[in-house]
Amino acid sequence: GQSLEQPSEVTAVEGAIVQINCTYQTSGFYGLSWYQQHDGGAPTFLSYNALDGLEETGRFSSFLSRSDSYGYLLLQELQMKDSASYFCAVRDRDNAGNMLTFGGGTRLMVKP
């Protein structure tokens, strides 16, 4: 089966940079995704890495190292609205069910 580890909570101040790490264990691997979820809201897709390296989308970037089974989400120029939970997710290539498996989520609190 699959398992993903990410910190449960991170606190940062407005304007700062924060990195949320994710390590995973899967029997196969076909990409690492990141989702954002505000309290009471739906998870929304942020980014996807299939290959090693950094993907940048505005203030958010995501990194993947397949050899280390590790990735991170980098949030720059933090804003109060970035306070939310962030989930990493993997799709196991061998997973006949074809679904995404999510980590437990990292709750980010942005302070003024």
Partner 1 sequence: NAGVMQNPRHLVRRRGQEARLRCSPMKGHSHVYWYRQLPEEGLKFMVYLQKENIIDESGMPKERFSAEFPKEGPSILRIQQVVRGDSAAYFCASSPVNLRASSGNTIYFGEGSWLTVV
33 contacts partner 1 (rule: CB under 8 A): yes
Mode of pairing for the β-strands spanning 9-13 and 106-111:
parallel
Contact 36, 58 (CB under 8 A): no
38 contacts partner 1 (rule: CB under 8 A): no
| Cα dist from 88 to 65, 68, 73, 111, 112, whole Å | 14, 15, 9, 23, 26
Short-list 91, 90, 58, 89, CA closest to 74: 58
Judged by CB under 8 A, the chain residues 60 through 79 that form the site for partner 1 are none
Nearer to partner 1, 18 or 29 (CB): 29
103 contacts partner 1 (rule: CB under 8 A): yes
Q: Which of 50, 54, 80, 109 binds partner 1 (CB under 8 A)?
A: 50
Residues found near partner 1 in the complex (CB under 8 A): 30-33, 35, 41-45, 48, 50, 87, 89-91, 93, 96-105
